[in-house]
Amino acid sequence: MDFPSPLRRGRLVARYKRFFADIALDDGAEITAHCPNPGAMLGLNAPGLPVWVSRSDDPKRKLAHTLELVEVDGGLVGINTMHPNRLVAEALAAGAIPELAGYASHRREVKYGAASRIDFLLETPDRPPCWLEVKNCHFVRTPGLAEFPDCVAARSLKHLRELETIIAEGDRAAVLFVVQRADCDAFSACRNLDPAFSDELERTADAGVEVLAYACELSISEIRLTRRIDWRR
């Protein structure tokens, strides 16, 4: 996935009300950017951290800039929660996720469960469909280990339970954690921040839902889904 325009570098002044970030750009300008991330962003929201923002010329937007990347621990971390579905769509089209290859079509936002929409429904004539949920992940406390979530994730818990229902009905189901950073070799549920989600992920996997985690390579021009990392139960 390429960024639509060159990114501009700055320093985070403050992230507040979840969706706003005040930033001092390197060129001296001071802006308020949209922060497309409803989570806690633990470890990525400290004032002074280097950040990168994109800019849109759409006159309908209230904020022209969007916070895209944070520099931490010597690398780039993607914080835009809109990107994982785009990254997965590209990877599915390219056959870059071997565990999910071989499907003729990849439909998005298909209704299922209790008023939910699945991120992807993978279909082909010769086997059951695969219902795929995608989750964004960027939280790291232990070097090399990505964790999800970084706060209580009631909506994600609901999705896991709905995937378990899919398995009971005879279809295939999977949850894919997209780690928007390159410095992780393993993934784990964050039990102390959301024990209910951690327990449910274990139960869901035991019921037959596949748990996948993929890391990304990032630069200031693009993000790519690149390699599977281990899930530590």
Task: Give the CATH fold of the 8-78 domain.
Answer: OB fold (Dihydrolipoamide Acetyltransferase, E2P) (2.40.50)
Q: What percent of the chain is predicted at pLDDT more than 90?
A: 95
Q: What is the pLDDT of residues 111-125, one digit of tens each?
A: 887 778 999 999 999
**CA atoms of 11 and 126, how far apart (whole Å):** 52
Q: What is the pLDDT of residues 207-222, one digit of tens each?
A: 999 999 999 999 999 9
Tokens coding 62: 């209230």
Task: Give the CATH fold of the 83-231 domain.
Answer: Trna Endonuclease; Chain: A, domain 1 (3.40.1350)
Q: Are 132 and 174 in contact (CB under 8 A)?
A: yes
Q: What is the pLDDT of residues 93-109, one digit of tens each?
A: 999 999 999 999 999 99
Whether the predicted pLDDT of 130 surpasses 90: yes
Q: What's the mean pLDDT when you consider all of the chain?
A: 96
| pLDDT given for residue 213 in this prediction | 98
- Domain boundaries in the chain? 8-78, 83-231
Report whether the peptide linkage leading into residue 149 is cis, meaning its omega lies within 30 degrees of zero.
yes
The pTM of the full predicted model, rounded to 2 decimals, is 0.96
Q: Are 179 and 229 in contact (CB under 8 A)?
A: yes
